[in-house]
Structure 1
Amino acid sequence: MDQENSASSLDGADEEFWDLANSSSDEDLMNLQIEALQEKGRRTRRGSIPGRIYKDRQRLQGHETLFKDYFAENPVHEEGVFRRRFQMHRALFPRILAAVEAHDSYFVQKRDSVGSLGLSSLQKVTTVIRMLAYGIGADVVDDYLRISESTAIEAMKRFVQAVISVFRAEYLRKPTSDDISRLLLIGESRGFPGMLGSIDCSHNDINVLEHSSLFANLREGRAPPVTYKINDHEYTMGYYLADGIYPSWATFIKTIPCLQGEKAKNFAKAQEGCRKDVE
């Protein structure tokens, strides 16, 4: 390989390279060329991580599509679709979004070093909610929300931390006596006296249950003390409705898997309907 051709393929090569090239074999020269080209490529890539190729994901287009689909005054998708895809009512989402954004500036939309708008808080929080609701990977929503896998993972970590910090005192705690009284009234009105609620940790149910401090007493067969009667039998321990995947604890009333007779069918229908309603 002559030096003239080498010079044309290595635009901007310095004198040190040519000093090495003149005293090297053809194989050594080829290796030097490869190293020089690789270094040039690393200098021209503009990704956030060294060596990563920059992708124009058209973030603003992703935000506008998301907003029109679900959050505009007259969105494309109605409340029922929102409820199914976000696993919450539409009115609840802005409250969570505002709380998380106020707690962690990471979720506030910013401009990058060249002045371009980054991902909106709507895109980041929706990404996290979709991952939680469907149990999907971090790169699945990229084509719709225009968010990279690494950013989705970072958003998930910060979202969880923010939710715990903001909502722990109000929601991530054991029920008070007032809470228990209110829950019992709701349960009795739905035909389940003594019911304190419904258990459904969605994906990885058992893992969540086993590691939750909120259910430590349930694992030991203990629940808030209550008094109620069913078929003239008096009971002194509340319970939660659960599906078949949960363990057979005294504090769980599960559905009947193999239905035999009208009595069992009626109970299963009522239990499953009430469980979904509570959830």
Structure 2
Amino acid sequence: MIGSLYCIHWDWKNCLTRWQGGFSGRSRKPIVVLKTVALYDTWIWHVFFGVPGSQNDITVLGRSPIFNRLTEGKTPQLDYYINNRQYNMGYYLADNIYTKWATLVQAIPNPRNDAEKLFTLHQEAYQKDVERVFGILQARWNIISEPARGWSRENLDSIMMSCIILHNMIVEDEQDEYIDEESDDDQEDPNRSRRVRAKIYDGPNLPFNLRTSSICINEYMRRYKMICSCATNKYLQQDLVAHLWAKRSME
């Protein structure tokens, strides 16, 4: 699980008249959409901001570049097993409003047994991590706790990005030390607050065009269909339910 995905709608009070039609959503008020991916410690590592408010969360996800590198075959190679089934793509926790893709895992709307109830309870609990990120941002910076008063999208982007960067700096400063289990403790500097070493991961072994440094269109479409697979989403959710219930039974 890479992180939790969530979309936030920020009211734009001083939106120019010629832009209000494109930025007005269901509330008939100008809105700017912010899509974030955050971890359990509220660290924000992916942001897609500035989308007109007339678009819903699904179209915002389609426009965002979050799956671009995965489709292009430029992400690290992943191979792991859940309930004796092999998977090669990471996944995000999301609301039920999103499409059933292989890279998204939603809660079960109507759990029918104890195993599904346990999975839904854990999924919704971890999903709250990203939902409270914007609440933390609003509590720390009053400028984004109220409707935006900027006159241009560039100013709003600078404000939001600055607040997010400062938020990540605070989270990194306040979190516990990172300890690399593969490193030698005798060789580490005890005064360093961050001990994680950078590692180089191998990407998937795909046929790249030497001239364009990209994969062929057939491979691109194959990987795109693999990401949008509803069947993989179903199997992944079922395996996670079985794995979590088996782990609970062993405790």
* Structure with greater strand share of residues: 2
* Structure with greater helix share of residues: 1
Note whether the superposition's TM-score is higher than 0.5.
Answer: no
TM-score calculated relative to the size of structure 1: 0.28
From the CA coordinates, give the structure whose radius of gyration is larger.
1
